[in-house]
Amino acid sequence: MTRNATHETETVAALLQAAIQRLASEGNDNPRLDARLLLAHALGVEGRLHGREDDPVTVEERTHFSGFLARRIGGEPVSRILGSREFWSLEFDLSPATLDPRPDSETLIDAVLERHPDRNRAYRILDLGTGTGCLLLAALSEFPNAEGVGVDIDTECIQIARKNAEKLCLSSRARMICSRWADNVNGPFDIVLSNPPYIPTSDISQLQPEVKLHDPTQALDGGVDGLDAYRNIAESLPSLLGEDGLAVLEFGEGQGQDILRIMEASGLIVDGFRNDLAGIERCILVRRL
Ligand X SMILES: C[S@@+](CC[C@H](N)C(=O)[O-])C[C@H]1O[C@@H](n2cnc3c(N)ncnc32)[C@H](O)[C@@H]1O
Q: Is 196 a binder of ligand X (CB under 6 A)?
A: yes
Taking the least distance from each CB to ligand X, the nearer of 49 and 176 is 176
Nearer to ligand X, 23 or 149 (CB): 149
- Judged by CB under 6 A, the residue of 49, 82, 99, 170 near ligand X is 99
Give dist(CA 179, CA 98) in Å, integer: 15
Per CB under 6 A, 77 contacts ligand X: no
Kindly tell me which of 129 and 226 has the beta carbon lying closer to ligand X: 129
By CB under 6 A, residue 88 contacts ligand X = no
If we measure between CA atoms, which residue out of 80, 78, 105 comes closest to residue 95?
80
C-beta separation of 41 from 69 below 8 A: no
Task: Tell me: does residue 197 bind ligand X (CB under 6 A).
Answer: yes
Among 181, 189, 230, 251, binds ligand X (CB under 6 A): 181
Dist. CA 62–CA 43, nearest whole Å: 9
- β-pairing, 241-250 with 281-287? antiparallel
Per CB under 6 A, does 105 bind ligand X? yes
Choose the binding region for ligand X from 13-21, 56-64, 72-80, 193-201 (rule: CB under 6 A). 193-201
Residue 188, preceding peptide bond in cis (omega within 30° of 0): yes
Residue ranges in 118-177 that form contacts with ligand X under rule CB under 6 A: 129-132, 134-135, 151-154, 157
Nearest Cα residue to 57 out of 44, 67, 70: 44
CB of 64 to ligand X, least distance (A): 27
In angstroms, give the least distance from the CB of 31 to ligand X.
26
Number of residues that bind ligand X (CB under 6 A): 21
| Closest distance to ligand X from the beta carbon of 261 (Å) | 21
Cα–Cα distance for residue pair 80/31, rounded to 1 Å: 16
∠ CA 86-49-164, rounded to 5°: 25
20 binds ligand X (CB under 6 A): no
Closest approach of ligand X to the CB of residue 231, in Å = 11
Produce one character per residue of 31-67: b if its CB has 16 or more CB atoms within 10 Å, e if not: beebbbbbbbbbbeeeeebeebeeeebeeebbebbee
Q: Among 11, 17, 218, 266, which residue sits at the site for ligand X (rule: CB under 6 A)?
A: 218
Comparison of 131 and 245: residue with beta carbon closer to ligand X = 131
CB of 39 to ligand X, least distance (A): 27
Q: Decide if residue 207 touches ligand X (CB under 6 A).
A: no
Give whichever of 11 and 141 is closer to ligand X, judged by the CB atom: 141
Under 8 Å between Cβ of 238 and 251: no
Q: Are 189 and 242 in contact (CB under 8 A)?
A: yes
Supply φ then ψ for residue 244, to 5 degrees: -105, 25
Interface pick for ligand X out of 31, 77, 101, 245 (rule CB under 6 A):
101
State the burial class of residue 113 (Cβ atoms within 10 Å of its Cβ: 0-12, 13-18, 19+). middle
Contact positions vs ligand X (CB under 6 A)? 99, 101, 105, 129-132, 134-135, 151-154, 157, 180-181, 195-197, 218-219
